[in-house]
Structure 1
Amino acid sequence: MAIWTAEVKEIERLYESLRHQFPELGRELGNLIKTDDENVALLYSRRCLEVIVTYLCEAELKRSRGTEPLKGIIDKLQKEEKVPSHITASMHGLNTLSTFGTHPKDFDPEQVKPVLNNLLIIIKWYLRYKDPLTFGELMKEEQKHEAEPEDVREKVKGRPKKRVLFAVTVFLMVAITAIVILSIFNVISLGKLTKDTNFIAVLPFTSLNNDPDQEYFSYGLVEEILDRLCRIGKLKVISHTSSSRFKNTNLSLKEIARQLNASAILEGSVQKQGDNVRITVQLIDAKTDTHLWSKKFENNLTDIFSIYSEVAQAVAGELHAGITQEEKHLLGKVPTTDMAAYDAYLLGRFYWSKLTAKDLETAMQHFELAKERDPEFTLAYAGIASVWVARRQLGMTKPAEATPKIDLAIKRALENDTTQADVYYMLAVNMTWGKFDWIGGESAFKKAIEINPNHAEAHAYYSHLLNILGRREEAMNYIETALKLDPLSSLIQSLYGIDLMFVRRYDDAVKAFRESLDLYPAQPLAGNIINALYFAGREDEAIEMLRTHQKNNPEYLKALNDGYFEAGFQGAMKKVADLNAERSKTVFIGSRSIGQFYALAGDIDNALLWLEKAYEEHDPNLPYILKPEYDKLRDDPRFQDLCRRLNLPYK
């Protein structure tokens, strides 16, 4: 029995009264009162405080909390006299103790008691603040409960009427019989998820460091746990891109699970202190909000990989997902023994995910450092390759500069380790869009998906290769899998929109691109919505969106408007193509892009001229010439010859 049982009982009485009216706070309290683990108790006490302070920030300070630490918000609430000083004192006490208590060497379970006492004070004030009437009724019930002697309460409990007792007995017999029958036929679950409910999402872990410079570690830790889970073939794992959208959210677990189509949620907290790390994880059945498994780890950083492996295997067991011997071997692999190299790699992944030119450069510096510290660290080379691939595909560098560097990084990675899905994914992307080697690209995509069946981007980009090769039905199967694995990814939605363009489903493509922009308004691939609108017969919308997109480019806007006034959409495309052709003499603009504008304008000669230049330059986007933007070129022998040289099915 936990030494803080008395404190929890008081909180439990509050929980029963508020859980329906305040579901978000109720969810965290519900998790708190179920646990007898001191670290989990601290975690959920802190989360209760976060729910309350986040609300007060919006209601009293009139702004979103964002990622600001609790201490700063509490200080502002006190300074502006939005919250009584004795309440902010309790808030500070809870915040300080719940953080301090995560230091393994200094922690005393007795510290949970003052945390819970502070929480009780805060919640009572919060209820009075939110709903004075409900608070008054609640206090009456509590006073009545406390005034009644314990022996009287026990006697009242102990003398039910015979008819009531008989009815209860009959009801229980029927209920137990029903549960047994239903469980036999797998209609309901007795404490574990059934075999068909194996979609899992890993939410961002709470960092207890209160140090923004340590944010990368919790980000990388989640990615590494996901990587291990993804290697288990019988698990379906929601991508980090989608689950990371729920960082600092006030949504309930059930709502998060609904949006992600997940049946189980893994969440936790992490604190890194020098060479030590403390991690708490718990697996929750999202449909019933019940705990399936939880554990805390206190280890040296050198043991971090064994923690990842143990978490993955425990989750697989709870979700009835069997692990093969080969998968078990992969889960136990240690990518590097140099923790500084590993730390640099995690920083590199953190900055790479932002995909700006500056952040890609920072990511490259960290990947290079990881490589220098451990020349056999495969993931460092995969990181270097990923930076050059991003630069090439986003038009930040010419293919002639990027492709050889990608080749070298992948070669070194495969020399060190042939079991990393991301290395084969990089190889597939390079073979397909860097070398136009369709056979090599397909082989590498299949290998990446074999190693990691949950690699959403591998599925999505493989669908593009299949569409490039004219294998439409296969392509749609792979992109639909990617959407299930990463349902809230702006990138995957845009890639889906491009697949829909291949099959000429223009209205559906417009919808996909709009969803992509809703998720991330700056998504570059979603610019394809302009062409989708045009082919859907919504020419005016296409032009208006292009105007909005180029509102800060007066030269472009003038060409667009002049051309549209003279000859409609095709006239606008012609003027823009001429402008870009001229500008390409001084700045890098992809030849394929210019060729596409001419193709949309119906200027076949200029379109083919620029596509030929794109072929000579090895433009990475040239394989997309079988999309509808180029349909007007299909009957021209020059276009057919280009397709033959690319080994594309143009007919």
Structure 2
Amino acid sequence: MSEFVEALKTELESTFKEEISVFFDINPHDGLLETHDVDESLKEKLKCLVFIPIISRTYCDPKSFAWEHEFKAFIEQASQDQFGLKVKLPGGNVASRVLPVRIYDLDNPDIKLCESVLGGVLRGVEFIYAEPGVNRPLKSNDDEKTNLNKTKYINQINKVSNAIKEIITAIGQFNPEQEEVQKEVFKPISASQKNSKTTIIVGSLIALALIILGILFVPKLIKPPEQVEKSIAVLPFKNDSPDLERMYFINGTMEAILDNLCKIKDLRVPGRTSVEQYRDNPKPIPIIAKELNVSYILEGSGHRDGNNVRLIVQLLDGKKDQHIWSQTYNADIEDIFSMQSEIAQLIAGEIKAIITPIEKQLIEKPPTTSLKAYDFYQRGREEHAKYQFLSGNMSTLTKAEVLYKRALEYDSTFAQAYTGLAAIYWDKYYRKEYFSENFMDSILILTTVALSYNDQLDEAYTIRGNYYYENKQPEKAIKEFDKALNINPNSWRAYYGKGDQSEELLISLENFLKAESLNHGPELPDILTRIAEAYCDAGFIDKARYYTLEAFKLDGDSVQYFAELGYLEQKMANYEKSVEFLERSYSIDTSNLFTLFLLGEMYGFGGQVEKSLKYFKKFLTRRDAILGTEYFTEGSIYHRIGYVYWESGYMEESEYYFNKQLDECNNVIKSGRPWSQLYYTYYDIAGIYAFRGEKDKAYENLRIFNQRKVESLWMLSLIKNDPLFNNIRNEPEFQQIVRDVEAKYQAEHERVRKWLEEQGML
């Protein structure tokens, strides 16, 4: 739907002289939150000139919020304002200010219901794709030849724009007496400087917020030339050859050019994961630029025929979709590295990005002396990309591993091939080796070998940084991530790694936000969720909810969305509210592990042990069925289950789960995994001993836990309400530990608050 909005905005900008803004409400609560006063929230929001409801099969429902408080409310309000619901068009016809967009064929009862409210025939513009047995919303890449309705997406967008223009033109010819009223009300607008059309539009739309789809027209202001950010996205190149087997070469060339651009600090360049989504889902250039938040777009196409390479590249202004520069290359395969380097440097020159001498040296350095090795490397990279972007199938990892090894047969010093093997190893063996004494040592060996041959590989430093973090060496991890960013300042993975490993919330936020600015691919919802959780831990709840909603807008995963909202409420100790959101998640998907466990935990904290035990049993059954009984879930799960079994009178089962948690915590401590580095394992152990009445052991572990330098709202809420500590809750030492946790949280909250103020984000 966001594609529709962007396409409409683009069309309107080419239709009207006035600047156009389109507002679109996709709130999953249908515009209503529990804290909102409905009447006050909507009173001003519905004051718009044109109201465009998206009519789906579920829209025409008198029980829905959107129908009752938006659709009907606008019609009633527009019928009583100075313009009226229906306006007379310049040609003499009459049009409604409600312009429906239909995305499904409706049943007759729904049509009649709409018409009864509209007071006339349901007209509008259809965005419906139909084939025998198919009835769905029209997409921009649908072929009108196969569409029974014979409609084309861009033509329908044009129809909507033209309909809006007719309505606005009609309003522009409104009674001039009304114009005088507006001039009196809105004194900042000088009527003598505007034509009647503009005055009316401005007068009627100042300070309006719109719901569903509203169109806001304001006069263009004279602005100084905008500073264009030096940012570029490199779209997947097209293979001009009928030989699909050569696709890996085109993809590899595109990625090499992208990697070269990423080395330029004066440029912001989203990585391949951000642009891969447009390979099979092409969109207009301005929409892509808007979605990726970049100023420029690079397109390319080409093919390889034997040793001959042909490549066409074109640089475009992302906002205007205007050609800036293009070049056609016909070269021998021997010149592939110099061609990739030249293209990157020419593009940077066109964008006026500064390339330092060190960056130039990095860009011009060939990765290998063997073209055969490079060919196998590109093939391996392609198979690994299939695993990451498409299948998740382990067989593609095995293929990639074989191809990387073949590359090393032709060049045993090919550093990128060693780095590729390290990435493969991480994906294949991370879980299997989690408690191994030699956990991921092969990663350390492979990345170290790679860097011995080429110490300018950001990917190798990033992978090695992750290795050090997992192996209780956080200082080394940070140094590795910083080395990666020194080589590739556009590495979202390095920023994510820094944010992930830091216990300081401000550092986490800074790095997660930087990662967000560089990644618009499938990982973005996860990054947004991590930002939301960091904001919540720092005590900025509104921002946490905002980023949780942003993640939902991208992935549309309502199960995860409501579960995350429940998780945020848990962090604030709002356990009843948490359960409400979690039950909504459960009502959509009864098998989600995250939801099942949190429901068990939250009902347990609320004292409803019967319900808690029910969900914990469902969690264990589901987990064992899909993951196996030996699957390790890092964190705190078994002692929560043990507590509920105890409260339910099942002592034997309770002891089993308490002991299982102790074993797991001790294994994590022994292996030095991140959960122990943050001292959370000691908190979990202390809770079990406190519940059992072994106070000395409880305090021994709590003292270790209290060595943490930074605390979160989540930890403060937990230690204040954790039922496992009820036996010692009122004791002086425990109360002092709680005060220490609160003081650390307040200090971190203040640090984040000051930073947000400095950044103008509060």
Instruction: Give the counterpart letter for 1:551 in structure 2.
Output: S
Q: 1:612 aligns with which of 663, 666, 672?
A: 666
> d(CA) in 2 for partners of 1:617 and 1:378?
30
Compute the displacement of 1:229 (Å). Answer: 0.5
Q: Paired residue for 1:239?
A: 271
Q: Partner of 1:90 in structure 2?
A: none
Q: How does 1:70-89 map to 2 (within 5 A)?
A: none
Query: Which of 258, 266, 285 is residue 253 of structure 1 equivalent to?
Result: 285
Tell me whether 367-376 or 437-446 shows the greater mean CA deviation: 367-376
Deviations 1:352-399 (A, max 9, x none): 343423333332222222233321111111111112223355x35535
Partner of 2:485 in structure 1? Answer: 449
Map of 2:528 onto structure 1: 493
Report the Cα distance in structure 1 between the residues aligned to 2:233 and 2:627, rounded to whole angstroms.
48
Pairwise CA distance, 1:286: 1.6
Give the counterpart letter for 1:415 in structure 2.
Answer: S
The 3-state SS of whatever aligns with 2:281 is coil
Structure 1 residue 300 displacement after superposition: 2.4
Say whether the 8 Å CA contact 2:492–2:519 is kept in structure 1.
yes
CA distance in 2, matches of 1:505, 1:569: 31
Q: Structure 1 482/587 Cα, relative in aligned 2: closer, same or farther at 3 Å?
A: same
Question: What SS does structure 2 have at the residue aligned with 1:251?
Answer: coil
Which residue pairs with 1:361 in the alignment?
398
CA RMSD, Structure 1 to Structure 2 (Å): 4.9
- Residue identity in the other structure for 1:432: Y
Match of 1:590 in 2: 632
Correspondent of 1:326 among 338, 358, 379: 358
Aligned match of 1:503: 538
**Is the 8 Å Cα contact of residues 623 and 629 (structure 2) preserved in structure 1?**
no
Partner AA of 1:289 in structure 2 = D
1:335: Cα distance to partner? Answer: 0.7
Distance in 1, matches of 2:249 and 2:13, equals 32
**How has the CA–CA distance of structure 1 residues 522 and 451 changed in structure 2, closer, same or farther, with 3 Å as cutoff?**
farther
Cα gap change, 1:284/1:295 in structure 2, threshold over 3 Å: closer, same or farther? Answer: same
The correspondence of residues 75-224 of structure 1 with structure 2, limited to 5 A, is: 187-188=224-225, 196-224=228-256
TM-score, normalising length: structure 1 = 0.62
Residue 266 (1) aligns with residue 298 (2): yes
Deviation at 1:501, TM superposition (A): 5.0
CA apart distance, 1:418: 0.5
Find the aligned partners of 1:288 and 1:631 in 2 and give their Cα distance.
60
1:567/1:216 CA distance change after superposition, 3 Å: farther
What are the within-5 Å matches in structure 2 for residues 568-647 of structure 1? Answer: 571=613, 575=617, 587-590=629-632, 592-593=634-635, 595-596=636-637, 598=639, 607-619=661-673, 622-623=676-677, 636-637=698-699, 639-640=701-702, 643=705
Instruction: Find the aligned partners of 1:399 and 1:528 in 2 and give their Cα distance.
Output: 29
> Is the Cα contact below 8 Å between 2:290 and 2:319 reproduced in 1?
no
1:299 is matched with which residue: 316, 331, 334? 331
Q: Which amino acid aligns with 1:437?
A: Q
Residues 1:371 and 2:408 are matched in the alignment = yes
1:477 corresponds to: 510
Number of the residue aligned with 1:344: 376
Identify, as 1 or 2, the structure richer in helix.
Answer: 1
Q: Percent identity?
A: 22
Matched with 1:230 is: 262
C-alpha separation in 2, matches of 1:523 and 1:307 = 46
Going from structure 1 to structure 2, the CA distance change for 1:81 and 1:641 (only over 3 Å counts) comes to closer
- Equivalent residue runs for 1:14-93 within 5 Å: none
Q: Deviations over 1:156-201 (max 9, x none)?
A: xxxxxxxxxxxxxxxxxxxxxxxxxxxxx99448xxxx5x520111
Counterpart in the other structure of 2:314: 282
The number of aligned residues is: 487
Change (3 A) 1:295 1:363: same
In 2, distance between residues paired with 1:517 and 1:459?
22
| Distance in 2, Cα, partners of 1:454 & 1:402 | 29
CA contact (8 A) 1:225 1:312 kept: yes
Q: Is the 8 A contact 1:590 1:614 kept in 2?
A: no
- Residues 358 and 293 of structure 1: is their aligned pair in 2 closer, same or farther, counting only changes over 3 Å? same
Describe the shift of the 1:22–1:250 C-alpha distance in structure 2 as closer, same or farther (beyond 3 A). Answer: farther
Structure 2: unaligned runs, 5 residues or longer? 1-9, 15-126, 163-221, 645-656, 691-697, 712-740, 742-762
* C-alpha contact (below 8 Å) 1:230/1:454 kept by paired residues: yes
Residue in structure 2 matching 1:532, options 556, 568, 571: 568
Question: Is residue 418 of structure 1 aligned with residue 458 of structure 2?
Answer: no
**Equivalents in 1 of 2:467, 2:666: separation in Å?**
21
Pair 217,321 (structure 1): closer, same or farther in 2 beyond 3 Å: same
Q: Which amino acid aligns with 1:588?
A: E
1:390 corresponds to which of 420, 427, 434: 427
Conserved? CA contact 1:445–1:462, under 8 Å: yes
Q: Distance in 2 between matches of 1:463 and 1:561?
A: 27
> What SS does structure 2 have at the residue aligned with 1:441?
helix
Instruction: List per-residue Cα deviations over 1:116-170 (Å, max 9, x = no partner).
Output: xxxxxxx9xx99xx99xx9xxxxxxxxxxxxxxxxxxxxxxxxxxxxxxxxxxxx
Please state how far the C-alpha of 1:211 moved relative to its aligned partner.
4.6
Q: 1:418 to 1:641 in 2, by over 3 A?
A: farther
SS of 1:592's equivalent in the other structure is coil
Secondary structure in structure 1 of the residue aligned to 2:462: helix
Deviation at 1:638, TM superposition (A): 5.1
- Contact kept in structure 2, 1:459 and 1:481, CA below 8 Å: yes
Worse overlay, 532-541 or 284-293: 532-541
Instruction: Judge conservation of contact 1:573–1:601 (CA < 8 Å) in 2.
Output: no
**Cα contact 1:302–1:337 (8 A) shared by 2:** no
Amino acid at match of 2:634: R
Equivalent position SS for 1:201: strand
1:542 aligns with 2:582: yes
Secondary structure of 1:265's aligned partner? strand
Calculate the TM-score normalised by the size of structure 2.
0.54
How has the CA–CA distance of structure 1 residues 409 and 60 changed in structure 2, closer, same or farther, with 3 Å as cutoff? same
Which residue type is aligned with residue 499 of structure 1? Answer: A
1:585 deviates by 12
Bigger drift between 267-276 and 417-426 goes to 267-276
| CA distance in structure 1 between the partners assigned to 2:223 and 2:148 by the alignment | 56
SS in 2 for 1:590: coil
Moved more, 420-429 or 347-356: 347-356
Summarize deviations over 1:426-458 as a string: whole Å, max 9, x none. 11111112x110110111111111111110111
- Once residues 599 and 372 of structure 1 are traced to their aligned partners in structure 2, the CA distance between those partners, rounded to angstroms, is 52
SS of the aligned residue for 2:232 comes to strand
Residue 525 of structure 1 deviates from its aligned partner by: 10
Displacement, 1:226?
1.4
Change (3 A) 1:224 1:585: closer
Tell me, in whole angstroms, the C-alpha distance in 2 between the residues paired with 1:336 and 1:385: 18
| Aligned equivalent of 2:110 | none
2:191 alignment counterpart: none
Give, in whole Å, the separation in 2 of the partners of 1:588 and 1:613. 14
Indicate conservation of the 8 Å contact 2:558/2:585, yes or no. Answer: no
Give the aligned residue type for 1:598. Answer: H
Between 308-317 and 358-367, report the one with greater CA deviation. Answer: 358-367
Deviations 1:579-634 (A, max 9, x none): 699999974322524x345359868956555322222244455556669x979969
